[in-house]
Structure 1
């Protein structure tokens, strides 16, 4: 059975295996994976699409430059997802919901508690940094989020079996709130620099993506960079 909480690592391993190099994924690649996850693209479709894209690439003349970004695989990933959706209506469930139904819990309760505690501590540190930078509103939002994580941590300690789907919904909502707060706190110059960075990275691959896909990727890349810039941890269990 697919374990959607391994979504990121399995895609990374598949890409590196197909590319036959130990190179790390770029920030743009990670943002693309996030956009697929948020769009509900099944893990199996992503892996099939990557393998199909590389199989086609291998048939090209040997002088063609190697694949340098996961974005090269976008068309094949979307094609695989569409074919999978056509073949089975059950694929319309969200990744987390499917995981909860199909698989045993991929994490132990102590692992989840440690994850929440670690993120709560990181949020407190990020709140201190925001306060020192004169960003009182962001600092307050980060401290409020840290307090909410403390509450979730207490609930998990008392839980005999973690309800992953419900917990993931709360963590994702918290991530969205913090993302919006960081966006409000960011200067025009910072946002312009981040948007220019994604534009440079997307340049060679725009023809392989629809306008909606490009917009989603830009949004995910900006979100990822903002979390990194303000040293805010990712909340989702996908990052455990």
Structure 2
């Protein structure tokens, strides 16, 4: 599936059905990431949002929908139904869309090649700057991870620039792996009190929605929200092309 469409289609559908433009909150983005990581197909997530708003519009007295979390229960219900329907289905599907083995050579990139290269170069420069600043006070495994990630980004940039048929999905997989490496290194090298404080803050932000979320979804969303707080606090850039 088109990785980038997963987020943008969900955002566009929610805004369209709500009827008023409303920027998604960090909690909403964390929830979308949770659905993506759980393997909720895009079409299933969109159907859940549509059904949630259909039910909402049928109510005589309605409160304003302010968050994507309003649709969370219906999305999970639709996902459960979809999972049951998939029993016995052949493998080789991801997020509800068949993986096509052969793609046309002229498949279009999700973004212009120049924009992708600029994104990679900017991310590499940011990582090196963070590493240089950190080395002034200490040198730890996080510094090493930053340096390794920056070196790998340079390789990816050079390969993508010279490729006759650049593969954005393959690049995205590599960037996702680098993000996980950086996230793990950041968590492992944070002072215990800073990590605990950030976790408490993220938990407090999400706590009002605990009763409306399945425990696995709540925990995944909490982890995503925690990482977002920590990345922002330390200036760590997102590498995924979705954030281009």
User: Normalising to structure 1: TM-score of the pair?
Assistant: 0.86
Query: Against the structure 1 CA distance between its residues 3 and 113, is the aligned structure 2 distance closer, same or farther, given a 3 Å change threshold?
Result: same
Tell me, in whole angstroms, the C-alpha distance in 2 between the residues paired with 1:169 and 1:201.
30
Aligned-CA RMSD value: 2.7
In structure 1, which of residues 199, 203, 206 is the aligned counterpart of residue 203 of structure 2? 199
What is the correspondence of 1:211-230 to structure 2 with a 5 Å cutoff? 211-230=215-234
CA shift in 2, pair 1:128/1:96, >3 Å: farther
Measure how far apart 1:99 and its partner are: 7.2
Shift of 1:166: 2.5
Paired position in structure 2 for 1:93: 93
Q: Distance in 2 between matches of 1:99 and 1:130?
A: 42
Which one of 60, 68, 71 corresponds to residue 70 of structure 1? 68
- Residue 82 of structure 1 corresponds to 80
Q: CA deviation at 1:176?
A: 0.8
5+ residue gaps, structure 2, are: none
Post-superposition offset of 1:120: 0.9
Structure 1, unpaired ranges of 5+: none
Pair 1:53-2:57 in alignment: no
- Which residue number corresponds to residue 119 of structure 1? 123
Structure with higher helix content: 1
Listed as ranges, the matches of 1:1-240 within 5 Å are 3-62=2-61, 64-87=62-85, 89=89, 93-95=93-95, 104-134=108-138, 136-240=140-244
Contact 2:172-2:241 within 8 A present in 1 as well:
yes
Change (3 A) 1:151 1:33: same
What is the count of residue pairs matched by the alignment?
238
Structure-2-length-normalised TM-score: 0.84
State the shift of 1:104 in Å: 4.4
